[in-house]
Amino acid sequence: MGDDDRTHRDAQTDGDPEETREWLESLDYVLEAKGADRASYLFERLRERLGSRGTPVSAPLNTPYVNTIPASQEPAYPGNLEIERRIRSFVRWNAMAMVVKANKQHPGIGGHISTFASAATLYEVAFNHFLRGKDHPGGGDLVYFQGHAVPGIYARGFVEGRLSEGSLHHFRRELATGGMGLPSYPHPWLLPDYWEFPTVSMGLGPIMSIYQARFNRYLQDRGLKDTAGRRVWAFVGDGETDEPESLGAISLAARERLDNLIWVVNCNLQRLDGPVRGNGKIIQELEASFRGAGWNVIKVIWGSDWDPLLAKDDEGLLVRRMGEVLDGWYQKYTVEGGAYVRKHFFGVEPKLLKMVENLSDEQIHKMMRGGHDPRKVYAAYKAAVEHKGRPTVILAKTIKGYGLGEAGEGRNVTHQQKKMNEHELREFRTRFGVPVPDDQLGSTPFFKPPAGSPEAAYLVERREAMGGFLPERRVNVEPLEPPPLEQFKEFIGGSGDRPVSTTMGFARMLGRLLSIKDFGKHLVPIIPDEARTFGLEALFRQYGIYSHVGQLYEPVDKSSLLYYFEATNGQILEEGITEAGAMSSFIAAGTAYATHKLNTIPLFIFYSMFGFQRVGDLIWAASDMRTRGFLLGATAGRTTLEGEGLQHQDGQSHLLADAFPTIACYDPAFMFELAVILQDGMKRMYQDQEELSYYVTLYNESYPMPAMPAGAEQGIREGMYCFRPAPAHGGRHEPRAHLLASGTLVIEALRAQDLLRERYGVSADVWSVTSYKTLRMRTLEAERWNMWHPEEPPRESYLQKIARSLDGPCVAVSDYVRLVSQQISPWLPGGLLALGTDGFGRSDTRKALRRFFEIDAEHMVVAALYALHRRDGTVKPETIRNAVKDLGLNPHDEAPWKR
């Protein structure tokens, strides 16, 4: 924009410049004489008066494009800036060298240089003065490191003496001899003593950090753990904020007044392919989003080099110019150099040009952005940790690839930069003053300050003062003994003639567990706004819905017995309509054994369709974090959930869950099965300390619940047991088959068993299969052991032992796709014919849906007859044709999954 354009704009918007000047001078007087609080008060009163007189009043969410903390208000820097600069340079060099070496030795192995290059100052100031380790009296901070900045975190670990040079040599080569390799990104599964939080599936770190901070408050408010001294930090990329998970929960942080949460957004203006907002200003956009949500926003845009210019900017021309230039141009200024900046940034206004007339082009080019200036960064961090009542976000402007020069500084290709030639290495070495001689540059050696050096001593002194090294993950929790199975006797004994669903059975079990003294307090029920659907509203009044501020209103249903009750010490996390948020709470609670040395047992109950399908990425992160707890997929099954239709009816979550290595999957039919599974899961996870989560499906179909058959307990845990054997046939020879059923389809299998015996003379056992995944995985483990130990007696899995007793073909049926049951088909000698719900759901009754998907008792009968025919011909084709007619079946020309 030229000067003439601005003059025209000013003339349009200011009809009386003299009056405007007087108002501004009055405001300046109040600021100087009475302070900022008084000035803000008067400003708000003026806004109210205008609004009351019917005048539209805008509420801008943006402040000028300058640092939030002016130079005059910056605190003194407490550290040794020169020593910290040298340490920062060593870390920069080692981070770069690690990636360059890895790609020299193994082209294509990958890694990222540019992200940490832009964020080094942000991290180093935090490490030296703010991030508190596990030995800090307050318990230490929880830090979500930006995934692409990992080389810098490893490099600091090397400079501190925590990681060996051999480890750095094997970056991204985890399978290297000796187990010295380092994973590409933060993965607690791979470095369980080092990383706490996986963050590189972008967007997950931000949302997990919010719910972690809220969970810390939850523990404090419930009196389970003193977390008052623990902060949660999240280092986030500006491009990452485009992920819906990144900003989707920021309003919760403000509502819950999470002043224990600090985000540092590295605004280097670039994402993987190009500018984050080439045609806009990402810092201003994010400021508006966070301020609108209620956060405290601190902008760190300009380094100290700009302070003298801003001090001379009496007319506000420089501030205006800073605000009108788009990010795409700022990126270009980084690449083009000082002469270009002088002409295109300052040259639009003669008075701006005069401001820099005494600066060389090189000086202009080196004027730092705020995120590279330790003084500015320190001031922002100090203000953040001292702020009360709201979460804080720091928007720090940096240059992506800072220091890489022609190798990638500020360029669109910088994210993919993996290699540097000798000239580029020399420039990098010289720019940051790293003591690597010329004759060694080609080998890109790592550098660590020698023991006893000022830098080495400073590193140790600062981390000791801050409570130890970070990142670090510690597990030091006492085992928690769960209630014995006898505590579930009311569920093991059945319901008599009273119909009950497994969802309602779970609600009763949860209430029972919550009431157990000294154990119930460890439970963390998590519900995404479906408590009434799942029959859990009875828990509201007794245990309370957690709210940090309590209940500031009288609920509309206060006169009822089960009214909506919010309390500061409430136990239930009622998350609203957000499976992502609820899953983040599950992760925070399920990892408290590591983050807080405390056993908390999350029980997250949700529409099963909206679990693995909707938040599978977060569930994968939970597995990476070794999370413990129960995921409960309620209203499960493609035909059991009647009426809801295609988007709600789940027929695939068990298939999806099979791919998660740390998740045990169960699909119980009866309350006694559910009781055994829950008790066994609590024992395995919290007493035996196995790093597992459980996925258990629950149904809303009611039927009388039988008592547990004698000897069924082991089979429930192992994955299958014979629920009802075929009736004795008095010595007559009858064809034999086996009906394998899961969940509510066990009831259909029982009906099919009767039809087969009464109409077709086929004797069939009914097996309840509680976990196909458990059967399969334990069989694979046995087979693998046998393959590597051919000289040893072969091991035999539970499934293989059962299979030896099966004297006929098997027909498997569940409310899930056929692949779920087909997992075990290789080990069934009589063969397996699978029925399932492949295809899209429909809105209809259970009876109609099961007929449509060909999984009702009548279809099981035909399948069993066909399996016997296919196996040995004992059932003739005409018997099958007659059965189809007699049972009222009308096979469609197209399969259900094509309709």
Binding site feature residues for Mg(2+): 238, 268, 270
Write a three-state SS string for 583-651.
Answer: HHHHHHHHCHHHHCCCCCEEEEEEEHHHCHHHHHHHHHHHHHCCCCEEEEEECCCCCCCCCCCCCCCCC
Q: Are 847 and 858 in contact (CB under 8 A)?
A: no
Question: 843 to each of 295, 654, 849, 892, how far by Cα in Å?
Answer: 44, 22, 8, 19
Helices (H), 263-372: 282-293, 307-311, 317-324, 327-336, 338-341, 350-355, 361-365
In whole angstroms, give the CA distance from residue 486 to residue 488. 5
CB atoms within 10 A of CB 44: 10
* The pairing of beta strand 720-724 with beta strand 763-769: antiparallel
In whole angstroms, give the CA distance from residue 861 to residue 868. 11
Write a three-state SS string for 178-216.
Answer: HHCCECCCCCCCCCCCCCCCCCCCCCHHHHHHHHHHHHH
Q: What are phi and psi of 504, to 5 degrees?
A: -65, -35
Residue type, 43: F
Annotated binding residues = 238, 268, 270
* The pairing of beta strand 573-574 with beta strand 629-634: unpaired
The pair of three-digit structure tokens given for residue 534, joined into one six-digit string: 């799942």
The pair of three-digit structure tokens given for residue 460, joined into one six-digit string: 């140790």
Helices (H), 669-728: 671-682, 713-718
Q: Are 664 and 741 in contact (CB under 8 A)?
A: no
In whole angstroms, give the CA distance from residue 88 to residue 125. 9
Question: 547 to each of 569, 570, 760, how far by Cα in Å?
Answer: 8, 7, 61
In whole angstroms, give the CA distance from residue 509 to residue 494. 13
- Cβ-in-10-Å burial (0-12, 13-18, 19+) of 283 comes to buried
Helices (H), 196-281: 204-222, 244-247, 250-255
